[in-house]
Amino acid sequence: MADRTEQFGAREGTEGIVRCDACPVLCRIRPGRAGACHRYANEGGRLVRTDPLVLLTRTVEAAEPVVPFLEGAEEWAGELAPREQVFVTAIGAGTTYPDYKPAPFIVSARHEGVDTVTVVTEGIFSYCGLKAKIDTDRHLGPEAAPVRHEGEQIGHVTTAEYGSQMLSLGGVRHLTGGSKREGQVTCAALLALCRKEAIEVEIEGGARLVLQAGAAPIVNGVRESRMRVGCGSAAIGIFAQQWHGHVDEVVVLDDHITGVLTEHQAGKCLGMRPSGLRVRGRRSTPGRYFQVAHPGAGWGGTDITDPLSVIEGFDPKQAWPGMRVLMTSTTGEDALWFELDEALRPVPRPMPEAVARTVARIGENCEPAMTSILFMAGAGGSLRAGVTENPILLTRRVQQGEVRVTMGGAPCYLWPGGGITIMADVLRIPDNAFGHVPTPALVAPIEFTMRADLYAALGGHVEHALPLAELLARHAAESESAPWPAANPWPEAPR
């Protein structure tokens, strides 16, 4: 554990109690005990960090080392190979609340001939939340319906996207704007999801869900397997050519847009004969129907379990005995084959092999259902003072793309507009990167990487910059190395 007394703590009284000012709680920690967040502890009257500083390394093929080592640093016992490239993440770096102090680590290095600075700190985020993308056709709940965890509202249902249902979780109003328990439950739920753990939520008027980043969602106890190939109309367009000659009509049942092949432009381009099949719902354009059924957990995200119930009838002027009809869902998980008898009544029949192959092809074109969790936070507040004495200069350079923002080395999407509002995929952020403080708020790593000359021009705390090699030597005992995630781009300074 690392001694952080100089930067964060202050000794109080004669009992060896240390006050931690790494967050607004200002814990008074007795010897041998940890603070409320379990991230700082009192070790013999010294405030120490309980988590190691995480260094990410990758091997480079350059003829000369990319990481500059100071004279004598080659004797450092850490044994980092000279051709390894090192990025100092903010994971385990600590915070500098109330941020009038420089960031815990300001690291100077040289990368591909460019002098760079990376400012490393753990941000305390009350203004933060998660966007959950859930790949499913199942109806999860009405838009804007409350999402609850352990009885407390932690978010709401937002817009459905193409093949996915979206939830907005957390945010400052749930963390601090409601009851104390609501804030605690919200914080715990967000932290678990950020740590790639599973939680169960219930949507008011809708489904029970088990959510976990990178795992298939579980809806009402059933694990989803497929993300739909597209809406009913899109499925018609994709597979019309493969159905041609094997079917006389196809209905692809979908909560949003149900497709009918012979009416659809794809069927007309193939010269298919009108079938006279009439489906319920509101006709949009030829072969495309809205509101065929209510949302639900049945076929194609509807409440339909008997697909024949959506058929209003057959026009005797167009339909004929023996007419072959395929009905399928947008994932191919549900399908029915029937033929019309002499009275134009649908009679279920065994599905021909050629048609069964097309239904299997629908499934083949569905991607695996997955839950995606994106962490979103506003970083335009006081933590900027740990970077520079004039925070607006940092904000503007971030917005102009001259400063790269990462979270544990993972790339961030910067929202346009004012401030520094960032979003990152938790699966791309290293494990154990998130923590919490009981205000309540989440603690997350954030790094700002830029050219050294730009950092000086921003009014950065240049006098606190520590050469990378010196940092590696000085903090070897309190850090740990992990391999660089191959899927993440290296966060070099923008030029």
CB 116 within 8 A of CB 110: yes
* pLDDT tens readout for residues 105-134: 999 999 888 999 999 999 999 999 999 999
**Which pLDDT value is given to residue 80?**
46
Q: What is 181-212 written as a DSSP string?
A: HHHHHHHHHHHHHHTT--EEEEETTS-EEEE-
pLDDT at 70: 38
Is 162 in a helix, a strand, or coil? coil
Of the ranges 46-50, 85-89, 95-99, which one carries the lowest mean pLDDT score? Answer: 95-99
Split at pLDDT 50, 70, 90, the class of 12 is: low
Report whether pLDDT(439) > 90.
no
Residue 248, pLDDT score: 98
User: According to the model, what pLDDT value does residue 91 have?
Assistant: 96
State pTM to two decimals: 0.88
Q: How confident is the model at residue 331 (pLDDT cuts 50, 70, 90)?
A: very high
Report whether pLDDT(215) > 90. Answer: yes
pLDDT recorded at residue 13: 58
Model confidence at 340, in pLDDT bands (50, 70, 90)? very high
Query: What's the pLDDT at 397?
Result: 97
Could you read off the pLDDT of 27-70 as tens digits, one per residue? 899 998 988 888 888 988 888 888 899 999 998 764 444 444 33
Strand intervals (E) in 257-383:
258-260, 277-279, 282-283, 288-290, 311-314, 324-329, 335-340, 346-348, 367-368, 371-378
Residue-wise pLDDT tens digits, 283-312: 999 999 999 999 988 999 899 999 999 999
pLDDT of res. 76: 42
Q: Find, among 221, 252, 250, 223, the residue nearest to 235 by Cα.
A: 252
Using only C-alpha atoms, the chain has a radius of gyration, in whole angstroms, of 29
Q: Which of 475, 406, 446 is nearest to 124 (CA)?
A: 446
Q: State the CB neighbour count (10 A cutoff) for residue 173.
A: 13
Can you tell me the distance from the alpha carbon of 155 to that of 206, in angstroms, rounded to the nearest whole number? 14
Distance (Å, whole) CA 434 – CA 186? 15
pLDDT higher for 230 or 36? 230
Separation CA 437–CA 254 (nearest Å): 45
